[in-house]
């Protein structure tokens, strides 16, 4: 395990990332919204789920393999889309994609990636999905998804739970915003983390200049320290099911809606021809009074699980959490913060280490449960 021998859990990786990253960036990754009630509730709800062990079963040849959207992969994991991973580690999106490729799982590229999908595809060899925030200018949005498809993205993941910007007061206190705004507090914070400053920010400045959102149109792409030149690529607050219909007509790959929490919306997704949904409350980063995915998942699976691929995310910290989501009916599980903590402490190797921890823990959990396959995992 090399330099990661002391990282034995996701919490260990989290603590190491906290030491390495400026506070403004770490808290942007780690924390939730408003009073952060939901971020604690996600954890409590997962912890409350008990799984039923079966004994005296030969688990020598147990398998974590999952089939998602017609492709078999070694585990049910997908690395979730996360904004500005390129600020966590130099070329952080490429590092995450390399870790995904090594694990044989997909990596979902964010609209707000610092690295363009073309570079990620060329330098990682990973299976790529692409996450979409709809812009005010729909034609530019369609041009973006055409670009993602041409770069090899297998699936388009439309985030549907971010109609407006969330309230995260700690970002304002820490001096973190997009565009970045210079402040004394943020300057001191960065100065106190020289390894990050040298290895991430200075390397970026020397190689490609001030970081920018790589998927924005060239004429509107500005350094993240400057205000956007146009509202055309602002996030649209008027996204409706008509946009889903438009995307379904345009996109040739799999179409997934991320952020579904009700049976009604899951059934609408099915009616609009999508291939899958992600039952998620955005890691408790958006709506602090939203239900947790564990609350919504069973009813959604009962309603549409035989006709749609149902994935889940939010709050995964151990392999047992993956098993819990599987027991509730999810076919796959997205992870976001965990792999960001890994990439923060060691790039692709750090992210791979975190994935290996989750795989080892899931395998051990299955062994203890007497589960030879994911389908054998049952609720108590």
Annotated domain spans of the chain: 2-376
The Cα-based distances of 161 to 99, 111, 165, 257, 290 in angstroms read 27, 15, 10, 9, 10
Q: What is the mean pLDDT of the chain?
A: 94
pLDDT over 80 at 178, yes or no: no
Give the C-alpha separation, 251 to 325, whole Å: 29
For residue 340 the two structure tokens come to 């960001």
The Cα-based distances of 298 to 6, 217, 312 in angstroms read 37, 40, 11
Across residues 151-170, what is the average pLDDT? Answer: 95
Question: Where is mean pLDDT largest: 203-212, 225-234, 332-341?
Answer: 332-341
Tens-digit pLDDT profile for residues 275-315: 999 999 999 999 999 999 999 999 999 999 999 999 999 99
Tens-digit pLDDT profile for residues 87-125: 999 999 999 999 999 999 999 999 999 999 999 999 999
Residues across the chain: 380
pLDDT of residue 1: 43
The Cα-based distances of 88 to 96, 110, 149, 343 in angstroms read 11, 14, 26, 7
What is the CA angle 36-41-47, rounded to 5? 140
Across residues 181-210, what is the average pLDDT? Answer: 87
Catalytic residue chosen out of the listed positions 90, 193, 215, 282: 282
Give the C-alpha separation, 107 to 60, whole Å: 30
For residue 122 the two structure tokens come to 């060329």
Question: Does residue 215 carry a catalytic annotation?
Answer: no
Residue of higher predicted confidence among 50 and 186: 50
pLDDT of residue 319: 98
Angle between helices 319-327 and 337-369 (to 10 degrees): 70
User: What pTM, to 2 d.p., does this model score?
Assistant: 0.95
Least-confidence region, from 4-8, 179-183, 293-297:
179-183
Confidence band for 150, pLDDT divided at 50, 70 and 90: very high
Contact of 312 with 279, CB cutoff 8 Å: yes
What would the CATH number be for the domain defined by 2-376?
Answer: 3.20.20.70
pLDDT over 60 at 238, yes or no: yes
Tens-digit pLDDT profile for residues 315-329: 999 999 999 999 999
Across residues 60-83, what is the average pLDDT? Answer: 97
Omega before residue 179 within 30° of 0, cis: yes
Give the closest residue to 312 by CA, choosing from 333, 283, 282, 281: 333
For residue 316 the two structure tokens come to 């995964």
Confidence band for 223, pLDDT divided at 50, 70 and 90: low
Q: With helix as H, strand as E and coil as C, how does the chain read? A: CHHHCCCCCHHHHHHHHHHHCCHHHHHHHHCCCCCCHHHHHHHHHHHCCCECCCCCCCCCCCCCCEEECCEEECCCEEECCCCCHHHCCCCHHHHHHHHHHHHCCCEEECCCCCCCHHHHHHHHCCCEEEEECCECCHHHHHHHHHHHHHCCCCEEEEECCCCCCCCCHHHHHHCCCCCCCCCHHHHHHHHCCHHHHHHHHHHHHHHCCCCECCCCCHHHCCECCCCCCCCCCCECCCCCHHHHHHHHHHCCCEEEEEEECCHHHHHHHHHCCCCEEEECCHHHCCCCCCCCHHHHHHHHHHHHCCCCEEEECCCCCCHHHHHHHHHCCCCEEEECHHHHHHHHHHHHHHHHHHHHHHHHHHHHHHHHHCCCCHHHCCEC
Across residues 70-79, what is the average pLDDT? Answer: 98
Contact of 252 with 149, CB cutoff 8 Å: yes
Tens-digit pLDDT profile for residues 339-353: 999 999 999 999 999
């Amino acid at each position: 395990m090399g330099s990661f021998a002391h990282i034995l859990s996701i919490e260990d990786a989290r603590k190491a990332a906290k030491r390495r990253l400026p506070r403004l960036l770490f808290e942007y990754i780690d924390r939730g919204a408003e009073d952060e009630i939901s971020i604690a509730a996600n954890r409590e709800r997962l912890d409350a789920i008990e799984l039923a062990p079966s004994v005296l079963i030969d688990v020598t040849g147990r398998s974590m393999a999952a089939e998602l959207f017609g492709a078999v992969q070694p585990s049910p994991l997908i690395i979730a889309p996360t904004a500005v991973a390129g600020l966590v580690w130099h070329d952080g999106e490429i590092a995450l994609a390399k870790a995904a490729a090594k694990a044989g799982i997909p990596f979902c590229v964010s609209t707000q990636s610092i690295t363009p999908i073309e570079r990620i595809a060329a330098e990682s060899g990973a299976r790529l999905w692409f996450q979409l925030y709809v812009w005010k200018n729909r034609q530019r949005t369609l041009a973006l998804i055409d670009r993602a498809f041409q770069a090899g993205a297998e699936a388009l993941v439309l985030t549907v739970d971010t109609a407006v910007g969330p309230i995260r007061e700690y970002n304002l206190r820490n001096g973190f915003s997009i565009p970045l705004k210079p402040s004394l507090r943020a300057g001191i914070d960065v100065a106190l983390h020289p390894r990050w400053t040298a290895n991430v920010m200075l390397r970026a400045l020397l190689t490609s200049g001030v970081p920018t959102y790589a998927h924005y149109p060239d004429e509107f792409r500005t350094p993240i320290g400057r205000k956007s030149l146009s509202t055309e690529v602002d996030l649209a607050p008027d996204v409706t099911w008509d946009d889903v219909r438009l995307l379904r007509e345009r996109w040739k790959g799999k179409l997934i809606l991320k952020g579904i929490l009700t049976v009604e919306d899951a059934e609408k997704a099915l009616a609009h021809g999508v291939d899958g949904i992600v039952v998620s409350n955005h890691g408790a980063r958006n709506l602090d009074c939203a239900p947790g995915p564990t609350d919504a998942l069973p009813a959604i699976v009962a309603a549409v699980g035989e006709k749609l691929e149902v994935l889940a995310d939010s709050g995964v910290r151990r392999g047992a959490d993956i098993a819990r989501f599987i027991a509730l009916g999810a076919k796959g599980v997205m992870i976001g913060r965990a792999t960001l903590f890994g990439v923060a402490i060691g790039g692709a190797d750090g992210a791979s280490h975190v994935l290996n921890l989750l795989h080892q823990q899931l395998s051990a959990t299955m062994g203890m449960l007497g589960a030879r396959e994911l389908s054998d995992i049952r609720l108590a």
